[in-house]
Amino acid sequence: MRWWLFVGLIGGCSGKGDDTASAESDADTDADTDGDTDSDTDTDTDSDTDSDTDSDTDTDTDTDSDTDTDTDTDVTVVCEGDADCDGWNDVLDCDDTDPTVYFDIPFWPDGDGDGFGDPKGAVVYVCGDESGAPSPSGYVFDSSDCDDTDATIFPGAFEDLKDGIDSNCDGDADGVCTDDADCDGWNDVIDCDDTDPMRYVEDTFWADDDHDGYGDPADSTTVCGDKAGASPPSGYVDDFSDCDDSEPTIYPGAFEDLTDGIDSNCDGDADGVCKDDADCDGFNDVIDCDDTDPTLFFDSTFYEDADGDGYGNPSASTTVCGGKAGASPPAGYVDDFSDCNDTDAGVAPGAAEILGDGIDNNCDGVAS
């Protein structure tokens, strides 16, 4: 009995058997070796049923907050050659300790406070970004002032053409413009007077010695003027169409005396001498039937009327040179060519047809 108990104790300590199971065998063995109905059945279910499922089952599932949610704020990011990691390496970055600024912005001194900087002044650089940088006091982001001692001189300022100063910094002082001495906008190649800004275009005038208002094309002079033109000098006109500047009655449009042999109207033809029209009647020598008489210019055709019936023979004709009203037929000729038999006065268009005589009396082309 004691030996078993000892062995049982050893088994319970081994920790290998299930504690609940060991509690059961306890209840059994104890139950009756006693034989007495002693309610001391010692069911000794041993509350040591070790509900100690061993809280040493290590509820220590070790959620160990060291599952490193600890993103380790202590980790240091290193950008090679760019200490502030702003994308501008330490060679280009003007301040590699501040990621919000990275390149130098130049500023020029503005001594006269007109907002335009002196290009010859000492430049100051301020580290900034794409939007710029704050300008230091007395400096501006500009270098276009041509005189930083005078606030009235700057690009775009009013230019006084009389003060001899380049107020608007365009590189030209008054009266000194590139290739344009008088600064009138017309360079020295085309300006007819580059010393006077009010004159730049040349006008040509022609001598009018006979004072008829028409100039001599062979005698001219030029006068420098402006947009509105120049005024002609005395004895000159703005015309060069006179064909004889020594005679005031000869000029374009003058009356033409056809008997004096003079080209009074400057049309290029003296009287009776017209180009390809000897009689100057307007019909050239090709179509003029008589180029010696200006009243005659085209031919009229007439037909012989041998039988005197008023109808002409289409086979016998002549022409007569006439004028606008035409010409008169010569004796024995008429202005008709419809007679079919000019030897018989009884045969003519419209004559009575005598049936059975075998003659075409009325010239209708049918003999009866």
**φ, ψ at 131 (rounded to 5°):** -85, 0
Total domain count, the chain: 3
Last residue of a domain, one of 243, 273, 303: 273
Say if residue 163 is in the same domain as residue 192: no
Say if residue 299 is in the same domain as residue 244: no
Which residues lie closer than 8 Å to 248 by C-beta, 6 or more apart? 210, 211, 212
Give strand pairing partners of 220: 206
Last residue of a domain, one of 148, 176, 204: 176
Q: Does 46 map to a domain?
A: no
Last residue of a domain, one of 220, 242, 273: 273
- In angstroms, what CA-CA distances link 311 with 317, 342, 357, 359, 363? 12, 8, 22, 17, 11
DSSP type of residue 292: T
pLDDT of residue 63: 47
Distance (Å, whole) CA 312 – CA 37: 188
- In angstroms, what CA-CA distances link 313 with 161, 319, 361? 96, 14, 15
| 2: three-class secondary structure by DSSP | helix
Structural domain that includes position 146 = 80-176
Neighbours of 302 (CB within 10 A): 21
List, as one string, the DSSP characters of 310-321: S---TTSEEEEE
Say if residue 293 is in the same domain as residue 319: yes
pTM (global) more than 0.95: no
pLDDT 10s per residue in the chain (368 long)?
A: 333 333 333 344 334 334 333 333 343 444 444 444 444 444 444 444 444 444 444 444 444 444 444 455 555 667 888 898 988 888 888 898 999 988 899 999 999 999 999 999 999 999 998 888 999 999 999 999 999 999 999 998 987 766 778 888 888 776 557 677 887 778 888 899 988 989 999 999 999 999 999 999 999 999 999 888 899 999 999 999 999 999 999 999 998 877 677 889 998 877 656 667 778 787 888 899 998 898 999 999 999 999 999 999 999 999 999 998 889 999 999 999 999 999 999 999 999 999 888 999 999 999 88
Distance (Å, whole) CA 83 – CA 88: 9
Neighbours of 293 (CB within 10 A): 14
Q: Does 6 map to a domain?
A: no
Cβ–Cβ under 8 Å, residues 49 and 22:
no
